[in-house]
Each structure stands twice: as C-alpha cells, then as structure tokens.
Structure 1
Amino acid sequence: MFPKPSPELVPNTYAYESQPMVKPTGFREYDARWLFEKEINLMGVQALGLGLAQLLKELSVPREVVVGHDFRSYSASIKLALTAGLMAGGAKVRDIGLCITPMAYFAQFALDCPAVAMVTASHNDNGWTGVKMGAARPVTFGPEEMGRLRDIVIGGNYAPEPGGAYEFVPDFPARYIADLTSRPRYGRKMKVVAACGNGTAGAFAPELLEKLGVEVVPLDCDLDWTFPRYNANPEDLHMLHAMAEAVTASGADVALGFDGDGDRCGVVDNEGAEIFADKIGVMLARDLSKLHQGATFVVDVKSTGLFATDPALAANGVKVDFWKTGHSHIKRRVRDLKALAGFEKSGHFFFNAPVGRGYDDGFVTAIAVLDMLERNPAKSMADLYRDLPKTFGSPTMSPHCPDEVKYGVAEAVTARFQAMLMRGERLIGQKIRDIVTVNGVRVTVEDGTWGLVRASSNKPELVVVVESPASEANMRAMFAAVDRVLRENPEVGAYNQTI
C-alpha cells in the first residue's frame, strides 16, 4: 500500500524522501496549488495521482487522462510523479508534453480522452506548482470534486490497481495550432505585439499569430522559468506597462499578453492604453452580439458594471449573468446557461460554439480580439475602447491573507457591510444601494460606485476591486473605505499592487 500523506515533513531527511507530504490547503476551490518542496513533495504528487484515479473511478469516468506541463524547472518532474500515481491507480495516461493549458483541454476533444490533469502554477510566483483537472469536457473540477479529491488524498483512501498505461503523443502543439489557424488569413493589415512574460505561451504565440496573417512583434517570448522581468500575468501592471511601451515603440495595432500557462489574454491598445480584461469583455460582447442578437454572457462579480448598463448591449438584447469568480465556476455557468461566452476580469474568457469549445483559451481570446478589429476596419483598438461609456476602475489588488483564515476574513467583511446597510450607514458619503454576496461581497452606492472583497481561490490572498462610473475620486474613495474595513482584521497584510 502507498503510504498516507503527512501535512508536513522536514526536508533533507529520510522521512521526506520516503513518505508523501501534502498540505491540505493546497486543494483550492477549482484547482490545486502548492509551494513545491515546502507544501508538497514528489511522493505527495504521486499520492495526488493515485487519488485522482480513485476519484475518476467513483465518478464512473473512464480512467483515461491527458497530462501536460508548463515551463518551470520542476514541472516535468512533477508531471512524471503525477503520471506514476495515475498509472498505479489503473489510469491510462496520454502525455502531450510541454504545452499551455488550453492544449490539454483541446486534447480531451482531439484525442477523445475524458479526463485532464495539467501541471501548472499558472501566473503564480516561482516555487509554486499545481494541477488543473477535469473529467467532463469542457469543464474542470469545482468545489465538490476538489473537496472529495482532498478527502481521498489526505485520508490515504486509495489503492494501487492494475491496468495503468502510458503513451507519449508527439508534436501535439502543432495539431492544436493547426486547429486554430485552419481559417482564412486576415485581410486587414495588422501589427501585433505578442507578450508572453517568458512563460510557456512564448513557444507558440508568435507562430500561431503569424499563421493568421499578422505581423508579430515578439515581447519576452523566449522561455525562461526564472521570469527575469516579471511574472507572466496580464493583470500585473508591470507586464501591462511593458506591453504599452512595446506598442508605442513599434507602432503596433494592439498588444496581446498571455499568462504563464496560456489560458488568459490581456490587451493594450494602439495608443498604449492598458484595457482591463472586463472592459475587453464588454467590447467583445458588443461585437459578438451584433452577430448573435439576444446572446447571454456570463461575467464574474469582479467585472465592470457596464455589462449591466451599457446601452449598446441593451440594444442588442444581451442578457448578462453575474456569477462567482473562478475559471471552473464561470466555465460551468457558461455551459449550463448555454451562454455565447463568459468573461472574467482576470482574463479567463470562455467561448461556446461557434467561437470556441467552452474552455478558457488565451489564444482563442486573442483571435476574437483580432476578429473584432477585422470586422471594424475603420476603427482602431483605441477607437473601440473610446466607444465604451467612461468608468474609472482599479486593477485586481490582492492583500496577503493566510489560506487558513482568508475565508473567515471575507465572511467578516461581508457581515460588516451588511450591518452597515441594515443600520443605514453611508459609504463614501452615499447610501448603500445594494450588496451582492454570490462570491465574497460587492457593495454598491447610489451613483453606481462599487467595491468588491473576496478570498482568492488559488493564493493566500484576498481580492479587492473598485470601480466608479462617476469619477476617479469616488473610485479612490471607495478603495479607501473598503481598505478601512479590511484593516479591522489584523490578519490582512500588504497589497501586491494598489491604485
């Protein structure tokens, strides 16, 4: 029998090398993230593979799993440990090698494989690892599946079974790129900055964009797992500023930035303006709803209020559903509502047919942006951005908060704002108009200015976003008010970035 994991072991000891270590908090709402060697070791990853095979058996899903890994110094070893566990649990593994996460999702369809386990820490700092898993294409695990997987693994409720097998699938990225580029080349002449932050997407983005017929200006496309300039994260202001500089220097029509595992896309326009992903979502919804009148779009609670108030969307009969943040939550909601697309402020975009297959893919998002430009030949990206009603919004800001207490803090903040509403207290000098608690708390005052606080699903952090349709001053006032409530909780630490 494979040993039951321990939550903590001392490195450089016999126990560390002969027993699995898995910290329970690594099982998040919709994927798994750990600090490698501090919170999970290779034997712990094997235990995860065994547990995943057991879960697939419980779900009555054939134990056939696509695996892939991102470009970090340790990801290949983690994938092999995961593969060993899966095979020991009786699973047939199909390894597509180094890839971006959407390639693994695509492989579920292209290889007719029911399950996926992609080894990636996405945009997390070096030292982190994780696995994105699913067993019902195109969706990935949510809280229920992740909770059951945690119980199986932490409890050691798995056992080796016969039938495991391994197959390496050669040259799979070429198959994925061919699928996305088997279409007419763009007629509009476009120069595009492809920004990859030295992450995995850099191996594939320039080739894909060139095959679509655009001139590519590569930015940080050489793979380097030290991430020498900044993390590959299109919500990170450092990356957005670098994209803006590249657009200005090259005279490009747009900059497209991809995160470390390629399932997200950020945009900077031809004038160097950094367009937050929720505003890109509004622009794409405007464009697509002209072709698909009455379409439904799912958006996360961090997203701009324009989805609910934009007159162009209303004129096209658009229906908008605000839902829980998290790629698994939005992906499932898009599937369940048969929505045309789903948008997250983080840059996870989900397109159903005829645009995509329902999963989040940064390259499909990039193509949707370029299609929008192709359909509006008289307008630049900046023109399309200026067409939106003006609002003043913040980037996603994340104060540190330990995993063990972050959900409790989010609940305390929610209760605090609800008590303010009940007592008729004012916020930034205005009455509180409404409070949404579908995911954390989103509090809105009379003029439409709002602030959001929620627990991060994949890091020891909280998430804070503010926006005002009235003024930058009100947006900043809302941030100050939200931060004051947060500081009533001593567990809340410093922000990664602020306005």
Structure 2
Amino acid sequence: MQSTAINTEQSIQYFTSESPADEAILICPEGFREYDARWWYGFAGAEQPAEINLAGITAVGAGLAHMVRQRGIEPAIVVGHDLRSYSFEIKTALIKGLISGGMQVFDIGLALSPMAYYAQFALNVPSVAMVTASHNENGWTGVKMGCERPYTFGPAEMAELKSIILEHQAEPAKGGSYNSVNNIEKLYSAALTKGRFFKRHLKVVVACGNGTAGLFAPQILRRIGCDVVEVDCAPDWNFPHYNPDPEAAPMQKAMAEAVRTYGADLAFGFDGDGDRCGVADHEGNIIYADRIGLLLARQFSEKHKASHFIVDVKSSGLFRSDPVLQAYQATVEYWKTGHSYIKRRMGECRALAAFEKSGHVFLNQPLGLGYDDGLATAIAVCEMLAAHPDQSLAALHRQLPASYATPTLNIPCCDTEKYGLVSRIQDYFANLFEAGGLFAGQKITELLTINGARVTVADGTWGLIRASSNKPDLVVVAESPVSLERRNDMLRAINDVLRQFGAGELPDFEGGF
C-alpha cells in the first residue's frame, strides 16, 4: 500500500484513551452540508453555542469508517488538519472514531487540503478526511471527505453519512491502526515543482490571510524561481487582518495594495486550506478567477487540441463564445458549483481542466491528478507568463473580450429555508421562460437550473441565484458582455425577484448598481 519514499511511524496508543468525562455526543444535523461538513465549534469566550463537540467528532469518524466498510472499500484513510488552534484536537477525536471502526489511519499532520488529496495518490490510499473550515471565521471547523480518489463526497454520500451517524448505525471493528506520515510536504512540493524552474523572473506577492497556506506557498513558489513578497503569511488562527478568502473584498484589497507597493508582477491570494487561488495583475487589478480560468484554458487548448473544459454556473459566459477556444476545437460545459461536483463531472467526461469563479481550479491528466489545488493554479499562471515573456498578465488579460461582472454576492438565508426558496425561484423563471416573457428588459434565451437559476437574455447578459453550499446564504452573480448598465439592469431585475420571494435585497458592493 505504501510507497517506499513515504516515512511513517506506527503508534496507536495515543488514540485509545477515553473521551473526557464520557461527554454526551453533540452534533448539529445542519452541519452535514452538500459536499463537506462544517460546524461552529467555538473557542474560549465565544457567545455562540457550539454545534459539535469532541464526542460528536469521534462519532463522525466512527460513522465514516462504517460507511467505508459498508461500501467494500479498503479501510485506509489519509487524515490532515489546518492550523486553527483546535484543529489538532478535532483531528485526534476524528482519528479515535476512525480507528474504532477498523480504519488504518495515515496522519500527514498540519497540511493543506490539496496535500491531503496528493497523499491519497502517494500512499495509494483510497479515502481522505481533511480537518478544515477553509476560509470560514475562527471558531468554525469541518471535514472534507472522500473514499474514491480524487473525488470528495457529494450530496448522496453526505446524506448517507449523516444517516449512519445520527441513527447510531456505526459498529466497532478490528484492524484499526495509526501511522504518522512525516514527509508528505516534501513529496508534494517536489511533485508540484518538478521540471518547473522558469527563466522569466517573476516578482510575486503571496497573500495568505494568516491561514495555513502561508506555511507552504512562499517556499514552493520560490522553488520555481519566483521572487516572493510575503503578505500576512505568518500563521494566526484569529485571522487578525481579514479572513483568508480570495473571493472577498478585504483580501483582494490587500493583494492590490501590496502588488503596487512592492512593484510586483502579480499577486496570488490563497484561501485558508490552500485549494483556491485569487490573482491580481501588476496594476493592482483583481482578475476574477473565471477570467484567469479562460486565460489558462486558452493556454491549455493550444497544446491539447479539442479539449473539454468544465466551468461552474457562476463563471463568465465568455467561455462559450471565446474565439481562441473555438479555434482549437475546445468545448465547454457549465456545471454545478462545488469542488465535489466539479471533480466528479471531470472524471465522467474526462475534461482536461475545470474552473470555478470562487478560485478552485482543477487540472486533470496530463496536467494534474484531477483535484483542486491553489498552488498548482499559481504555478500554471507563472508558466503561462513564462510562455509570454514580453507580456504582462494585464496585457494578456486585455486580450480577452470585455465583460462587466459582479463579484459573488451573498444574502443571508437560513440553511433550512434556502433550498426551498431557490426551488420556488426556479419555478418562477421556468414559467416566465416558457411563456416567452421578458427579464431585465429582454427575452430570455437560456435558463440553466442545474444549480439554482441562471437566466440569460438576448444580448448575452445573465444573472444567477443559487443557494450557498457551505454557509446560510443565497448567492447572486451577474455579468454582461455589453455594458455596465446592462449588468446593472440584470441586478435590479434580480433584486425585484429576491424581494418578491421575501429573500431580502442584494448587499452593497464596490462599483455597485
């Protein structure tokens, strides 16, 4: 099962101690989300009550072990944790449950989510459980899980796991063991950077919001020849400056200011667990991840003709009309937002790469192993710039057709209500489309309901309303290839729909409508 290059130490004793005071299990059912688990764990002095405790986490581990055995999958799993102050104790409790259920645990320690995914391949282990709440505020915890690399759980698997745990179906099993893996970071870094030392000298800002990526990203980018300026890379689980979320305005502002201050060629911003990457050019302009994806898709399709790409429903409509992709016979498919959905769909249709507006980029063979990795994204951007030594990222970006897009906008909506609300909004648009009605002043030409409702009108302007998969929010995005005013017409029309269904109103944002 193990590669001889992997250093492990076996020890099980630490994980067989009794739970403190045999505490009662606490698990909030709503923490089992569409494709991972997220709970408010809290911290000393937190006013919000906890949604899960250590006994609950142990139950999650036992339930996951039971589910793996039920499916007839080899009972071996990679486990890692992010830098939050309580993540190690969460992981320890999770491992206790996994071992009690007969799992062979391979603990890679403090890690990024893509390091855990990589370890599945390096160790030839089918399953993964990464303890992280990604970019969520301090106090949140969670687990990203899968039992078939490179895929992670989707709604069906999460519902099955939830049922096993809440109905107390998990049974103990023999054969559990613990293995401490010592050198995954070294192997992961070598795999990412092998053969990639670029002659073009790039000065890059690396912003990490004091998240886990700050421990790894600067060193890896230096290995490919980058001159790295570190911004908020020191680990601090309190996230004192801003949450490590490259899709959010505070981190984007820090990236833009730093790239101008230090005269860098570009800036990368990584989320809390390193599976997403945001980008700013040398002028300090944030380039949304879907547009970075379109630039990368152009680069990839030149070398790999007739490639298929996946993009999420939040992403730019330019993918469908791009003349460069068309010249290379590339095809593009819009799919559900969410790393688990995208990874699964990539495998089904053998897509070369996939892109999400949130900053997840997925590279499939021969470019990668099929999972999302923020550092692999940054290296791909550097490789693209190395292939165009006389052009800046800003210049490459200006070669794309113009469009006027919003950032991702979030409207608070209760977890127990958001899906029903979106379903009613889908029905509203379906009836309007069928009747030939107008929206935002024009006839609807396309309605995608694979993940929320994405409505496109005659001039190519579109808007999306969907339920967030990991927070109690609705999500809205709009874009127009015509003008800012047409984008704002779409936003005003969407705002009217939100009011009509009692969902509140769109939030203010920079450059708003």
Into which bin does the TM-score normalised by the smaller protein fall?
over 0.9
Of 435, 446, 465, 2:477 maps to 465
Q: Could you tell which deviates more after superposition, 84-93 or 30-39?
A: 30-39
TM-score by length of 2: 0.92
For structure 1, the 5+ residue unaligned runs are 1-13
Number of paired residues?
A: 486
Q: What per-residue deviation string (whole Å, max 9, x for no partner) do you get for residues 114-171 of structure 1?
A: 1100000011122211100111111111111111001101111111112111111123
- Show the counterpart of 1:435: 447
- Structure 2 distance, partners of 1:406, 1:419, is 20
User: Which runs of structure 2 are paired with 1:393-432 in the superposition (5 Å)?
Assistant: 393-432=405-444
- Structure 2 distance, partners of 1:23, 1:411, is 24
User: Which runs of structure 2 are paired with 1:65-214 in the superposition (5 Å)?
Assistant: 65-214=77-226
- Show the counterpart of 1:6: none
Q: What per-residue deviation string (whole Å, max 9, x for no partner) do you get for residues 435-467 of structure 1?
A: 111111000111111000111111111111000
- Show the counterpart of 1:48: 60
Q: Could you tell which deviates more after superposition, 355-364 or 169-178?
A: 169-178
- Structure 2 distance, partners of 1:202, 1:467, is 33
Of 34, 49, 52, 1:29 maps to 34
- Structure 1 distance, partners of 2:500, 2:40, is 29
Q: Could you tell which deviates more after superposition, 89-98 or 410-419?
A: 410-419
Of 467, 476, 489, 1:477 maps to 489
User: Which runs of structure 2 are paired with 1:224-303 in the superposition (5 Å)?
Assistant: 224-303=236-315
Q: Residues 294, 99 of structure 1: CA spacing in aligned structure 2 closer, same or farther, 3 A cutoff?
A: same
- Structure 1 distance, partners of 2:213, 2:68, is 29
Q: Residues 184, 430 of structure 1: CA spacing in aligned structure 2 closer, same or farther, 3 A cutoff?
A: closer
DSSP-derived class of the 1:487 partner: helix
Deviation of 1:496 (Å): 8.4
CA contact (8 A) 2:495 2:506 kept: no
- Structure 2 distance, partners of 1:198, 1:62, is 36
- Structure 2 distance, partners of 1:156, 1:491, is 36
Q: What amino acid is the match of 1:25? A: E
- Structure 2 distance, partners of 1:340, 1:488, is 41
Deviation of 1:488 (Å): 2.3
Identity %: 52
Q: What amino acid is the match of 1:481? A: A
Deviation of 1:180 (Å): 1.4
CA contact (8 A) 1:51 1:157 kept: yes
DSSP-derived class of the 1:398 partner: strand
CA contact (8 A) 2:495 2:505 kept: no
- Structure 2 distance, partners of 1:495, 1:47, is 39
Q: What per-residue deviation string (whole Å, max 9, x for no partner) do you get for residues 339-378 of structure 1?
A: 1101111111110122111110001111110010011112
TM-score by length of 1: 0.95
DSSP-derived class of the 1:399 partner: strand
Q: What amino acid is the match of 2:24? A: Q
- Structure 1 distance, partners of 2:143, 2:432, is 40
CA contact (8 A) 1:400 1:494 kept: no
DSSP-derived class of the 1:107 partner: helix
Q: What amino acid is the match of 1:452? A: L
Q: What amino acid is the match of 2:432? A: M
- Structure 1 distance, partners of 2:259, 2:292, is 17
CA contact (8 A) 1:400 1:495 kept: no
- Structure 2 distance, partners of 1:245, 1:439, is 35
